[in-house]
């Protein structure tokens, strides 16, 4: 038993550090780390200042060619250091710690979380909570980079179906996914409101009969293809001086087709001067 223990120890009597042993293949790794950590985070809330939620977190660093591996436990240790403080204003600090403690030149942190907004029905004004899936994608190399992402459900009604049919038109739930880089802080609530206006009708968590009538008629009077949706979101974002880069995707989960309809646009306003 002593012989086995001696084999697993370094000459100084410590456990060997296999991750820092030399790799001879001369191949650096762009991203190495841990994925799908469930962890509590704090998000800025326009109405209540803060909202506590739970995120699925991915953490990566680059790995130079000469090292065999990275120290996976250190990623979780860093998260634990910032317990109760994992928020947007701490991301750059967390990334800096990742670079320092893991000896990396770049660090990446991805968070996806549910965010809840209280929303009133359009006629009855009944209150309900709408859930939106949001993401923070942050990285730190020479400078800090941050992208805010939101998936927003809307209703879309087919213009072609409305034009061809004598009775009604088919509609479906659509998901609009936006990602933005901004110069100054942008509220999630404001982006949601802008994007919802670009569908045929917003989606609600609670509707009374008078609301159902209103939503159905609004969608019928406001038909949209996926192409219309991404173009309208693009027009809105191009008019916002605070947004420097964005992408927008729309996917319609078709009600009369087996497939989905899809469209996307990406614009870098920094390249446009």
Instruction: Kindly indicate the confidence band of residue 99, based on its pLDDT and cuts at 50, 70 and 90.
Output: very high
Exposed e or buried b for every residue in 84-122, given b needs 16+ CB within 10 A? eebebeebbebbebbbebbebebbbbbbbbebebebebb
Residue (of 253, 263, 228) closest to 174 by Cα position: 253
Note the pLDDT of residue 120: 96
Domain 24-142: assigned CATH number? 3.10.270.10
Token digits of residue 72: 């996976």
C-alpha–C-alpha distance, residues 82 and 57, integer Å: 14
Q: Average of pLDDT values for 40-66?
A: 91
Per-residue CA distances from 38 to 34, 81, 130 (Å): 11, 15, 22
Domain ranges of the chain: 24-142, 151-273
Q: Are 24-142 and 151-273 equal in CATH topology?
A: yes
Three-class SS state of 160: helix
Q: Which helix (H) or strand (E) holds 190?
A: helix 188-196
C-alpha–C-alpha distance, residues 130 and 100, integer Å: 39
Percent of the chain with pLDDT over 90: 72
Instruction: Kindly indicate the confidence band of residue 21, based on its pLDDT and cuts at 50, 70 and 90.
Output: low
- In this structure, which CATH number among 3.40.47.10, 3.30.420.10, 3.10.270.10, 3.40.50.1110 belongs to the domain 151-273? 3.10.270.10
- List, in order, residues 6 or more apart from 215 with CB less than 8 Å away: 122, 155, 201, 202, 204, 207
Token digits of residue 11: 């000459």
Note the pLDDT of residue 19: 56
Token digits of residue 70: 């990275």
Helices 226-238 and 188-196, packing angle to 10 deg: 130
Percent of the chain with pLDDT over 70: 89
Q: Average of pLDDT values for 149-155?
A: 97
Per-residue pLDDT reduced to its tens digit, 204-252: 999 999 999 999 999 999 999 999 999 999 999 999 999 999 999 999 9
Instruction: Kindly indicate the confidence band of residue 3, based on its pLDDT and cuts at 50, 70 and 90.
Output: very low
C-alpha–C-alpha distance, residues 135 and 111, integer Å: 5
For the chain, give the mean pLDDT.
Answer: 89
Phi, psi of 102 (to 5 degrees): -110, 5
Three-class SS state of 95: helix
Instruction: Kindly indicate the confidence band of residue 265, based on its pLDDT and cuts at 50, 70 and 90.
Output: very high
Note the pLDDT of residue 4: 34
Note the pLDDT of residue 86: 87
Note the pLDDT of residue 185: 93
- List, in order, residues 6 or more apart from 4 with CB less than 8 Å away: none
User: Please, is 234 exposed, middle or buried when counting C-beta atoms within 10 Å of its C-beta (0-12, 13-18, 19+)?
Assistant: middle
Listed range (63-72, 99-108, 148-157, 228-237) with the worst mean pLDDT: 63-72
Top-confidence residue, 37 or 63:
37
With beta carbons less than 8 A apart as the criterion, state whether 170 and 176 touch: no
Task: List beta partners, residue 201.
Answer: 155
Residue (of 169, 248, 155, 254) closest to 199 by Cα position: 155
Overall pTM > 0.85: yes
């Amino acid at each position: 038993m002593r012989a086995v223990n001696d084999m697993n120890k370094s000459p100084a009597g410590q456990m060997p550090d296999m991750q820092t042993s030399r790799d001879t293949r001369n191949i650096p790794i762009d991203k190495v780390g841990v994925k799908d950590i469930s962890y509590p985070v704090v998000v800025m809330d326009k109405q209540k200042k803060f909202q506590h939620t739970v995120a699925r977190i991915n953490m990566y660093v680059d790995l130079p060619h000469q090292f065999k591996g990275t120290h996976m436990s250190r990623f979780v240790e860093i998260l634990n250091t910032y317990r109760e403080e994992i928020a947007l204003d701490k991301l750059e600090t967390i990334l800096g710690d990742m670079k320092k403690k893991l000896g990396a030149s770049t660090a990446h942190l991805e968070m996806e979380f549910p965010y809840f907004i209280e929303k009133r029905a359009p006629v009855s004004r009944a209150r309900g909570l709408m859930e939106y899936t949001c993401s923070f994608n942050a990285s730190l190399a020479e400078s800090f980079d941050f992208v805010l992402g939101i998936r927003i459900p809307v209703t879309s009604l087919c213009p072609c179906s409305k034009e061809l049919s004598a009775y009604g038109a088919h509609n479906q739930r659509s998901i609009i996914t936006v990602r933005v880089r901004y110069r100054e802080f942008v509220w999630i609530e404001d982006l949601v409101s802008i994007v919802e206006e670009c569908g045929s009708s917003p989606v609600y968590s609670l509707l009374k009969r008078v609301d159902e009538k209103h939503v159905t008629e609004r969608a019928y009077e406001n038909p949209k293809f996926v192409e219309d949706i991404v173009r309208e979101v693009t027009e809105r974002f191009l008019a916002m001086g605070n947004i420097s880069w964005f992408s927008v995707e729309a996917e319609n989960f078709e009600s009369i087709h087996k497939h989905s309809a899809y469209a996307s646009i990406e614009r870098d306003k920094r390249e446009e001067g």
